[in-house]
Structure 1
Amino acid sequence: MKPFDCIIVDDDEMDRLMVLSYAKRFLTLNIVGVFDSAEKALIFLETNSVDVAFLDIELKNASGLELRKKALAIPVCVFISSHSESAAETFELQTLDFIVKPFKFPRFEQTVKRIEEFMEIRTKVDLFEASLGGDTVYVKTGHDQIKVKLHEILYLEALKNYTILVTENKRHCVLSNLGEILLEEKFNSFLRVHRSYAVQKQYIQKIGSQEIELNNNIFIPVGRSFKDNLNLIL
């Protein structure tokens, strides 16, 4: 996989160095700029294009949110901030992930895997078409159509404008966002439990305050704004 050109924008020197040290552990991340303000980052972006931006929210003068609004052409944006209450607002700006400070390397590694998966999807997207009947949908890859049985899908995972249909043995990437898919009548057996996840109700084994356990020891996070959905099945 070709390395992704990345920038880091954070006005806290220790936080910048930590993100930089974590990013350098991955061959897929090529750091081309590290900045302590949105203004400096925007000057750089006038003559350079990047694939990934790691942004803090609170910056001197212009915020990370303002920077993102002016740099929506960057395919992947990850906010790294101690202000978790701003997470919902960032996702309205085509944000792929939100990391809450303080954090450790495993959390950053999880984000990088998400970035790699998303970028792979961008280069090879399967087209999604609902079937005309029965317990099936079709995933179109090139000239071929793969039939996927709805009852075999464990959960759905959102990646910006794409959705991953996860079965026990395979992950199907489709060009349709999670909200659009859940509006389809065929998917009424799925319950949205997080901004990025919807689970098949029949596979829920245990419901906790912060996560759901599905079959095969699969754990899905529960978003605070979606907890009321779980009350419908309790």
Structure 2
Amino acid sequence: MKQLNCIIVDDDEIDRLTVVSFAKKFDNLNIIGVFESSLEALRIIENLSIDILFLDIDMPGLNGIELRKKATKIPACIFITAHPEHAVESFELDTLDFIVKPIKLDRFSQTMSRIQEFMEIKHKAALFESTIGGDVIYIKEGHEQTKIKLHDILYLEALKDYTLLVTHYKRHCVLSNIGTLLKESHFKSFIRIHRSFAVQTQFIEKKTSHDVTLSNGIVIPIGRSFKDKLNSLV
């Protein structure tokens, strides 16, 4: 895996040093900046090529959520916070992972595995190619074409310019953003419930005010701006 440039932003010195020590255990992470405030980080973000942002949320001045809104060009954002109540809001900002403090090495290692998978998906992204019959799509994976039945897709997950098509068996990636896919007629059975997620209504087993549970047990958050639409259809 190639070297990944990262920055760490946290106003708590102990937490900041902890993340630095964990990051140094992974040879593919290149720490190019460590900051105690969002404003300090913001000054250099525009001038650097950054792959990963390790970011606290509750900071004075510009908080982590506000910084992420100004740094959307960074592909992977990992929020590390003592406030789990920010989870739903953070996932509306292309968040790759959300870690609750105190951070432990095994949890950080899980995050690194997810980062690696995310970067590999970006690198090997499949191309959305064509449809036949209305209930089947073909995507290009490497040098092969894979046929996917639309009714096997549980949900769609946005990864910036890419979209994951998640089935019971496997996750496939297409080089198309989720908004564009949902405009296609063959995805009309999907409903967008979050900036990052769209689900097939037939797979929704349970719905609360904050999330939906699918038939395979996966729980997906509901974005605040999508609640009314979901309530009218489900």
TM-score tier after normalising by the smaller chain length: 0.7 to 0.9
Give the Cα–Cα distance (whole angstroms) in 1 for the partners of residues 169 and 88 of structure 2: 36
SS in 1 for 2:169: coil
Which structure has more relative contact order (CA 8 Å, sep 6+)? It is 2
For residue 36 of structure 1, what is the aligned residue in structure 2? 36
SS in 2 for 1:206: strand
1:40 Cα offset (Å)? 5.2
TM-score (norm 1): 0.75
Counterpart AA for 1:163 = T
TM-score (norm 2): 0.75
For residue 159 of structure 1, what is the aligned residue in structure 2? 159
For residue 192 of structure 2, what is the aligned residue in structure 1? 192
Give the Cα–Cα distance (whole angstroms) in 1 for the partners of residues 90 and 46 of structure 2: 28
- For residues 109-162 of structure 1, give each alpha carbon's deviation from its aligned partner in whole angstroms, at most 9, with x where no partner exists: 665444323211221111012414331111112443211110111111111111
| Farther off after superposition, 17-26 or 134-143 | 17-26
Counterpart AA for 2:191 = L
Give the Cα–Cα distance (whole angstroms) in 2 for the partners of residues 20 and 137 of structure 1: 44
Counterpart AA for 1:141 = E
Give the Cα–Cα distance (whole angstroms) in 1 for the partners of residues 144 and 58 of structure 2: 47
1:184 Cα offset (Å)? 1.1
1:176 Cα offset (Å)? 0.7
Give the Cα–Cα distance (whole angstroms) in 1 for the partners of residues 185 and 24 of structure 2: 45
1:28 Cα offset (Å)? 4.8
For residue 203 of structure 2, what is the aligned residue in structure 1? 203
SS in 2 for 1:217: coil
Give the Cα–Cα distance (whole angstroms) in 1 for the partners of residues 192 and 92 of structure 2: 20
Unaligned runs of 5+ in 2: none
Q: Is the 8 A contact 2:7 2:50 kept in 1?
A: yes
SS in 2 for 1:216: coil
Q: Is the 8 A contact 1:99 1:107 kept in 2?
A: no
Unaligned runs of 5+ in 1: none
Give the Cα–Cα distance (whole angstroms) in 1 for the partners of residues 182 and 228 of structure 2: 17
Count of residue pairs the alignment pairs up = 230
SS in 1 for 2:11: coil
1:230 corresponds to 2:233:
no
1:232/1:74 Cα in 2 relative to 1: closer, same or farther (>3 Å)? Answer: closer
